[in-house]
């Protein structure tokens, strides 16, 4: 099982590097990331969260299938923006409402090296945007206003004080 890094680790704040060579190692990494995601009861997990600062994430939203995104690019986002409560395996135990576009079109390469384009809505659109943020060093708490963010960080720190 891959270890999931948590808030405070510098790798969560780095720009992830493009993956130039999609090989067996990347396919293996995808599977290991899916396993770690399921193990943590998450629906998405990005490379930086397992200490790999490369442009890859996996997700499995309810009523959907497991998916792997490599070098993803947002092609379009809806004008309509909606709030949804988000959490993150790297900030366990806290949740906050984040406003994002309701629907998106994303293009990426899968673990077999195949380019694909996907229109997503609902939870799938949400998790894809959350995971794409991770590849730019952005966390969901960055989308909250300062008061909400500080409150959430305080709760997080209280929960995880050793
Ligand atoms: Zn996350």
pLDDT, tens digit, for every residue of 132-152? Answer: 999 999 999 999 999 999 999
pTM: 0.97
Answer yes or no: is 56 within a domain: yes
Q: What is the Å distance from ligand 1's center to 44 Cα?
A: 7
Instruction: Give 26-60 pLDDT, tens digit per residue.
Output: 999 999 999 999 999 999 999 999 999 999 999 99
* CA 46/CA 58 separation, integer angstroms: 6
Q: What is the Å distance from ligand 1's center to 131 Cα?
A: 6
DSSP class per residue in 10-52:
GGGGSPPBPP----HHHHHHHHHHHHHHHHTT-SEEEGGGGT-
Residues with a catalytic annotation lie at 131
Answer yes or no: is 59 within a domain: yes
Q: Which of 47, 159, 154, 137 is nearest to 93 (CA)?
A: 159
CATH code of the domain in which 14 resides = 3.90.45.10
Q: What is the Å distance from ligand 1's center to 107 Cα?
A: 20
Range of the domain at 110: 10-160
């Amino acid at each position: 099982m891959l270890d999931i890094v948590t808030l405070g680790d510098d790798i969560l704040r780095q720009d992830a590097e493009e993956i130039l060579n999609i090989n067996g190692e990347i396919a293996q990494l995808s599977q290991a990331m899916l396993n770690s995601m399921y193990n943590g009861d998450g629906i998405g997990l990005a490379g930086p969260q397992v200490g790999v600062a490369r442009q890859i994430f996996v997700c499995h939203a309810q009523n959907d299938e497991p998916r792997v995104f490599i070098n993803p690019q947002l092609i379009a986002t809806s004008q309509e923006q909606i709030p949804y409560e988000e959490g993150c395996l790297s900030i366990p135990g806290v949740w906050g409402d984040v406003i994002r576009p309701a629907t998106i079109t994303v293009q990426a390469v899968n673990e077999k090296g195949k380019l694909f384009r996907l229109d997503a809505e609902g939870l799938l659109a949400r998790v894809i945007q959350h995971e794409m943020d991770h590849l730019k060093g952005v966390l969901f708490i960055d989308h909250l206003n300062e008061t909400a963010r500080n409150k959430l960080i305080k709760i997080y720190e209280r929960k995880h004080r050793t």
